[in-house]
Structure 1
Amino acid sequence: MTATNRIQDQFLGQFKADKTEIVVFFVNGFQMKGIIEDYDEETVSLYSQNKHHLIYKHAISTFTVDEGTEE
């Protein structure tokens, strides 16, 4: 399966292109709100609170659109 066919890449790519504010839920219960700058097979770069964060995907449980920005 190529990277462009993976469901996670479709979600992440759309969120990145639209600059959608999302909430990332981590496996330890922590939450972070931000905008996806980029991503690869193992990591997601998230811009949150005027800082750039590199997050390993294995630490992410779920991500969703921030309810305050949903249309």
Structure 2
Amino acid sequence: MITLQLFAAGAIGGFAAFLSLGAVVLLAVAAMCTWERLREIPEAWRNRRAVLRARRADFDHCRAIDALPTVEHPRE
């Protein structure tokens, strides 16, 4: 092989190594983002359930107030 061919083979190998390193880094970032999102799912579920319980309790209070036997208070 002549010097130019060696240089070309080395350049191609270096470029392939650079691309594969970039792919590994992108894969690692994607895996970390996925892991973080998966860890947030149970907390989001608990928060959503707490909000639903609070809304249900507020609605129950409103129904209890509406059920009071008052005749002087005008309904709007």
TM-score interval w.r.t. the shorter chain? under 0.3
Question: 1 or 2, which has the higher strand percentage?
Answer: 1
Q: Structure 1 length as normaliser, TM-score?
A: 0.20
State the TM-score, normalizing by the size of structure 2: 0.19
Higher relative contact order (CA 8 A, sep 6+): 1
The structure carrying a bigger helix percent of its residues is 2
* Larger Cα-atom Rg: 2
